[in-house]
Chains A and B, each alone.
Chain A
Amino acid sequence: MTKPNMSLKKNPMPSQEPQVRAHNFNEVATGYTEETALDEALRCLSCKNMPCVSGCPVNIHIPEFIAKIKEGDFEGAYRVISKTSSLPAVCGRVCPQETQCESKCVRGIKGEPVGIGRLERFVADWHNAHSGEVPETAPSNGHRVAVVGSGPSGLTCAGDLAKKGYKVTVFEALHTAGGVLVYGIPEFRLPKAIVQKEVDTLSAMGVDVETNIVIGKTLTIDELFEQGYEAVFVGSGAGLPNFMGIPGESYKGVYSANEFLTRSNLMKAYESDPVTPIMKGGRVAVVGGGNVAMDAARTALRLGAEKVYIVYRRSLEELPARREEVEHAMEEGIEFKLLNNPIEILGYQNPDDRRDPKNGFVTGMKCIRMELGEPDEKGRRRPVPVPGSEFTLDVDTVVIAIGTSPNPLIKSTTKGLEVNRKGGIVVEEATGATSREGVYAGGDAVTGAATVISAMGAGKAAAAAIDEYIKGKEA
């Protein structure tokens, strides 16, 4: 065995320079080379009790795959990862490893943890570039399962069930599979070709993906059971965007983050001659502090905005986005207007000409400064407005990224499916079981907007529960 690498620092991720990447949609981080991956792998101490694994929602056998990298067996490393994860190239890019596996790494006690996410990405990319090997699946067991939605929870659930020998059909409402991975997360963070590759792998494992079918409209869950599916997993994702309820939100130039990102990502409005329009250039304010807000702000910048603001009502400390995304956004020149809250969006109205084509377009956003007051019940200090501190931000596009409410289509057409006050599907946490027999759910449809990996964890748990449920019926 080679000697461990005791450097206190991770091998840095090679990235495009901020001033360059701010003007293109190519991936920001370009990935480890074989040499760097090997060097980083040698930082892993192969702890016997594997604390990192407990931090992974899909329980990837982390020290085991890193050991394969050390041996130079990259395909072997991929096989280890793909035993438990259906989307390695995706997770290696978008997982918040700093709060998951890497937060448990022993090397992190004194220095930086092992770059587990970077290594996972390296392995997945190496596999995609060098091998067409499809993960092993058990022989068909003849049972059929339907998966609603082809986002991270649905794809994970489908992949796990396919490996166990189930015949799985994934129903997708949009024209492309991938859910939030294609309509939400931008190209520069997760290239669409990578998502497609993961979907292709599932297809090669025997999973059918049916696009253009809206469950709850084209087909109901009851009809899926009538068609012979023995269990259904609902991973229909986030729903309608929330707005702030302030005046001016209907002016032209006000987008929900979902709309703004869907136009750019799914409909390719970022291309030079798009068929789906989007407001490009100008001055943009993005309201919110999550990962979606960072994605929207950085997309706006790449679309050619001359100035992009993030407007968030709390302080930097409370920003819910991943630190890395915040740092990237700052490096690229996005200005953070922290402790500021929008109170009105202003629009152009020509008093002399009702037909003036400029009428109704955004001209600015009125904000008020905030300060942090007493902590709320969650212990977060509540932001309170500073009287008389109103000011106007000079912008022509406003993107609202303050979360979503679950999609109403499935609950309104599925009898006996219990939802909570907010509209999220009620499930038993460990299994994803809903109030309807044979119906399981996970991801944003249950929790409201959360992370890709937590959705994958839910898809995985549900796949295990569905397997148990169907086998239990047989016995």
Chain B
Amino acid sequence: MYRIVQKKILNPTVTLMEIEAPLVAKKAEPGQFIILRVDETGERIPLTIADFDREKGTVTIIFQIVGGTTERLNHKEAGDFIQDFVGPLGVATHTEGLKKVCIVGGGVGCAIALPIAKKLHQQGCAVTSVIGFRSKDLLILEDEFRAASDKLYVMTDDGSYGRHGNVCVPLEEMFAEGETFDQVITIGPLIMMKFVVAAVKPTGIPCVVSMNPIMIDGTGMCGGCRLTLNRDGEKITKFACVDGPDFNGYEVDFDEAMSRGAMYRDFERHAHEEACNLFHKEVK
């Protein structure tokens, strides 16, 4: 059992939890993920590590409430326990030798982008961050990003905060002005990452994307998290849990990843409603 040390509501659909998991905290690196089960009958879900404190022995996760499991998790409070918490899994984001990087985060993906920005910033890399949200009330981690970035662009789709527009707007402006980076790292919804890759492509700057497909075991056993890379005209199957979650954005078949990601959409919607109803009943 793993204790929830702290819980913070970041916005109506996004919650932060700090979990006591000393062995995971000891090894965790930005870009890696964990798998958790909320309770004994729960499903296994992967969540990327948002922060970790090796001394305290805690790992922070930030999650969006999308399905039954995240709904159940969100009903846990500080001091409560979750059943299973395993990691750190996946390959850490490569940061060595990078001097100038642009981080592009979208929505709850910003939670994963932040530790990477922090690590790069700490190692003296110049960090430009572009973070985007649908609207002002979904904004998270602005201050944290400001502290970890040399330059920060905050975007909202509806213009209710920061600049109006999606994350590609400032990217394209920067490129038009001749700005360049060693690498662009983007984390967010698949559709956003697809467009970021398209925006970066003309510059030839390497573009890393963080994939978050459906997983079961997360340890390289089931193959559910497979995705297709197009490398030199050849299709290659990779597994996000052991080969990723970071991949070369130019190679990823995003359309396929989006299709596969939606496989259980109806099931998830139903599970979320069920979980909500259950909690409503409990409240009554």
Contacts and interface: CB of A to CB of B under 8 A. Distances in A.
Interface of A: 173-175, 183, 211-214, 217-219, 237-241, 243, 249-250, 252, 255-256, 258-259, 262-263, 266-268, 275-277, 357, 359-360, 407-409
Contact of A218 (B69, B88, B223): B88
Given A219-B23, A252-B260, A175 B84 contact: yes
B85 A212 contact: yes
A250 B256 contact: yes
29 contacts: A173-B219, A175-B44, A183-B217, A211-B84, A213-B23, A217-B88, A217-B89, A218-B24, A218-B27, A239-B220, A240-B223, A240-B239, A240-B242, A241-B223, A250-B260, A256-B222, A256-B223, A258-B221, A259-B222, A262-B217, A262-B221, A275-B41, A275-B69, A275-B271, A276-B44, A277-B264, A360-B259, A360-B262, A407-B242
B283 interface: no
A408 B265 CA distance: 31
Nearest to B227: A250
* Most chain A beta carbons < 10 A, residue from B88, B217, B259, B271: B217
Contacts, number: 112
Contacts of B44: 175, 267, 276
Nearest to B32: A217
Contact of A407 (B86, B221, B237, B262): B221
A211 B83 CA distance: 11
Contact of A408 (B220, B228, B268): B220
B87 A214 contact: yes
B267 A262 contact: no
A276 B242 contact: no
B169 to A, nearest CB: 25
A214 B219 contact: yes
Contacts of B69: 275
A102 B47 CA distance: 49
A276 B216 contact: yes
Contacts of A255: 224
Interface string B249-284: 000010010011011111110010000000000000
Interface residues of B, number: 43
B31 to A, nearest CB: 13
Nearest to A361: B263
Contacts of B23: 213, 218-219
Contacts of B242: 240, 407-409
A217 B86 CA distance: 10
Contacts of A240: 220-221, 223, 239, 242
A239 to B, nearest CB: 6
Contacts of A256: 222-224
Given A213-B23, A239-B221, A277-B264, A250 B226 contact: yes
B89 A214 contact: yes
Given A218-B88, A259-B223, 19 more contacts: A174-B217, A175-B86, A212-B86, A213-B86, A214-B86, A217-B87, A218-B87, A219-B23, A238-B221, A250-B228, A252-B262, A262-B216, A275-B68, A275-B69, A276-B44, A276-B216, A277-B268, A357-B265, A408-B242
A409 B217 contact: no
A267 B23 CA distance: 25
B37 interface: yes
A267 B266 CA distance: 19
Interface string B1-43: 0000000000000000000000110010000000001000111
A275 B221 contact: no
Nearest to B40: A175
B43 A276 contact: yes
B241 to A, nearest CB: 9
Contacts of B253: 250
A241 B217 contact: no
Nearest to A211: B84
B247 to A, nearest CB: 15
A214 B24 CA distance: 10
Contacts of B226: 243, 250
Contact of A259 (B86, B224, B266): B224
Sorted nearest first, the 4 A-B pairs with minimum C-beta distance are A360-B259, A256-B223, A259-B222, A241-B223
A243 B265 CA distance: 25
